[in-house]
Structure 1
Amino acid sequence: MKILLVEDNQEQASYIRQGMAESGHHTDHAEDGHIGLVMALNGEYDLIITDRMMPRTDGLQMLRALRAAGNQTPTLILSALDSVDDRVEGLRGGGDDYLIKPFAFSELLARAEILARRSPVTTQAFQEILQLADLQLNRLNREVSRAAHVIQLNNREFQILEYFLSHPERVITRTMLLEQVWGYNFDPQTNVIDVHIGRLRKKIDLPDSPPLLHTIRGAGYKLSTRP
């Protein structure tokens, strides 16, 4: 899940980003509603999480502008304003859910994952089970198996495999992996990609099974039943 977090409180933003990363999700951060609006209009996100009261452009102003522009990304409003009128105003202003501060991260995560299923970025193509040959990934319970053999992956390996299985038989470049899995750009020549691919290959390409994860020299990688 790719999230846009719009939050002017740096401590709160760091807390949410760390929790989402530990749960296998990537979060881009905007420090106010003005920056958040620009990022939301120029990127594709499964979910927006926004504070309500911020300098320059507040959360509701940002949301109204987004909806007026036709952007329907599911949005969760975070706010210390807890009256019924406040919540109603937030929902009528374009929010899909409203969570009062302070909150438990487990509740934030649960609400975020539910909202993301409605995302126009993911809804059309969302599949609970992704599969190629006898390799299977379950997005909801985060289980991976091949030929009925359960494979243990860390969060980053799971994200990489999920991206490959979402684009089977397609060459995936290092830059695509950096942008879609890591969520930021840095030197595509770094070996961080090769290290993670090497570890993932050892786990999914079993000794008695035909290889599925192939290196395409000079181009990138491909998850395919064919070399």
Structure 2
Amino acid sequence: MYRADGSPIRVLLVDDERALTNLVRMALQYEGWEIDVAHDAAEAVGKYRANTPDVLVLDIMLPDMDGLGVLAQIRDSETYTPTLFLTARDSVGDRVAGLTAGGDDYMTKPFSLEELVARLRGLLRRSAYLTPADDESLTVGDLALDAASREVTRGGVPIALTSTEFELLRFLMRNPRRALSRKEILRRVWNYDFGGRSSIVDLYVSYLRKKVDAGSEPMIHTVRGVGYMLRPSE
């Protein structure tokens, strides 16, 4: 996988565990990607601003500032970079905090290098930066999605989504009133089956609901024993 102009993918890897960063760097260099490493928050922000990467791998627990604070500083610069959080904590609250801060995906330690590469490939495919714009426009009830501008509105009100949330919603909107299984969603949105673990789908659907259905009649519904369905509010 390469950037749109044919040059190598640029990755900024932020973690204070040097043994871990050495292993991850080798795995990602094997993909032909360019890897820059930072071991604390200050170094991460400086390297990000000096050479904006195509994807960010960010540890949540850093010595001088947590990864959520790092991402907040980066987002303040009004640039968007797909971000995968690394965390040693696996509670729902910790994961939701990462998504709320603007993360697109997360992995818990310890993790397999093969899965990390697969996650990053999927994240890059979902990224507007590497995905050619198309003219697809979708409307379900008062919910509208424009693929070219990457804009989503409900009742005319803009909804800010991460790239993963956008692709999840687009898949749901392409299949209105159809019950979609978690396995099918994993395959079509993440392009990876996560070893059959579907909890990531539930987490992202939960967070997407908070944005799409906030203050309105619900459109995203759970289909017991199957998965999820998007249908217009009555």
Calculate the TM-score normalised by the size of structure 2: 0.51
Percent sequence identity over aligned pairs: 40
| Aligned residue identity for 1:115 | L
In the alignment, which residue of structure 2 is the partner of 1:71?
79
CA distance in 2, matches of 1:72, 1:118: 13
Task: Report what 2:33 is aligned to.
Answer: 25
3-state secondary structure, aligned to 2:63: coil
What is the CA–CA distance in structure 2 between the aligned matches of 1:119 and 1:38, rounded to whole Å?
23
Match of 1:39 in 2: 47
Secondary structure at the aligned position of 1:56 is classed as coil
**SS in structure 2 opposite 1:48?**
strand
Partner AA of 1:112 in structure 2: L
Residue 124 of structure 1: how far off its partner (Å): 4.7
| Aligned residue identity for 1:27 | I
1:85 is the counterpart of 2:87: no
Equivalent residue pairs, number = 125
Instruction: Give me the whole-angstrom Cα distance separating, in 2, the residues matched to 1:46 and 1:114.
Output: 13
1:50 aligned partner: 58
* CA displacement at 1:71 relative to structure 2: 2.0
Q: Distance in 2 between matches of 1:53 and 1:12?
A: 14
2:226 aligned residue: none
TM-score by length of 1: 0.52
Q: CA deviation at 1:46?
A: 1.1
Q: Deviations over 1:129-186 (max 9, x none)?
A: xxxxxxxxxxxxxxxxxxxxxxxxxxxxxxxxxxxxxxxxxxxxxxxxxxxxxxxxxx
Gaps of 5+ in 2: 1-8, 134-234
Q: What RMSD over aligned residues (CA atoms) do the two structures have, in Å?
A: 1.5
Matches of 1:54 and 1:110, distance apart in 2: 24
How many angstroms does 1:98 deviate by?
0.8
| CA distance in 1 between partners of 2:72 and 2:52 (Å) | 18
Ranges of 4+ aligned residues in structure 1 off by more than 6 Å: none
**1:103 counterpart SS class:** coil
Taking the aligned partners of 1:124 and 1:69, their CA distance within structure 2 comes to: 24
**In structure 2, distance between residues paired with 1:123 and 1:33:** 29
Structure 1 residue 121: Cα displacement: 4.4
Could you say which residue in structure 2 is the equivalent of 1:209?
none
Distance 2:127 2:45 in 1: 17
Alignment of 1:49-198 (within 5 A): 49-119=57-127, 121-124=129-132
User: Residue type of the partner of 1:33?
Assistant: A
Q: Letter of the aligned partner of 1:53 in structure 2?
A: M
The structural deviation recorded for 1:45 is: 1.3
Partner of 1:134: none
By how many angstroms is 1:57 displaced?
2.1
C-alpha change, 1:92 and 1:122, in structure 2 (3 Å) is same
